[in-house]
Amino acid sequence: MHEMAVTESLLAIATRHGEAAGASRVTDLYLVIGRLSSIVDDSVQFYWDFVSKGTVCEGARLHFERVPATFRCLECQSHYELDGDFTPCPECGSSRIEVVAGEEFRLESVGIES
């Protein structure tokens, strides 16, 4: 897994935005993670506590908003949501599908004290 690299990147972004906004402390990180993005919450949290130590983000709480995977069938055009697994279209059984949502991995906002 690569949550360490990901968490360092997260820290850099949160620190940059926090400092630009004049934060004395970043208290909260609001993350949006798609079901398909293969990011494990617990693992990010584990590394977060470790990498954020001694920074303006130390002790910040991570909030994960999971976005379900949404697919569109390329045959019958129907949309369907799944909990992360790829399955053929439940309407017509076609395997020709496209991902509409579920790959997000975004820092949406940060809570700060100034």
Partner 1 sequence: MTASSRRVEVREDVLGANDLLASENRARLELAGVFSVNLMASPGAGKTSLVERTVQALAGQMRVAFVDGDLATSLDADRAAAAGAAAIQINTGGECHLDANMLQGALDQLDLGRTDLLIVENVGNLICPASFRLGTHKNVLIASIPEGDDKPYKYPGTYRGVDALVLNKIDLLPYVPFRMEYFRQGVEMLNPGVVTFVLSCRSGEGLSDWLQWLVGSVEAHRDTRKVE
Instruction: By CB under 8 A, name the binding residues for partner 1.
Output: 1-2, 5-6, 9-10, 12-14, 17-18, 21, 23-25, 27-28, 30-31, 36-38, 74, 85-86, 88, 95-97, 99, 105-114
Render the burial of 18-54: b for 16+ CB within 10 Å, e for the rest: beeeebeebeebebbbbbbbebeeeebeebbeebbee
Q: Which residue, 24 or 77, is less far from partner 1 as judged by CB?
A: 24
Q: Contact, 48 vs 82, CB < 8 A? A: no
Instruction: Classify residue 45 by its DSSP letter.
Output: H
Q: How far is the CB of 13 from partner 1 (least distance, A)?
A: 5
Q: Which residue, 49 or 107, is less far from partner 1 as judged by CB?
A: 107
Instruction: Classify residue 15 by its DSSP letter.
Output: H
Q: Which residue, 17 or 66, is less far from partner 1 as judged by CB?
A: 17
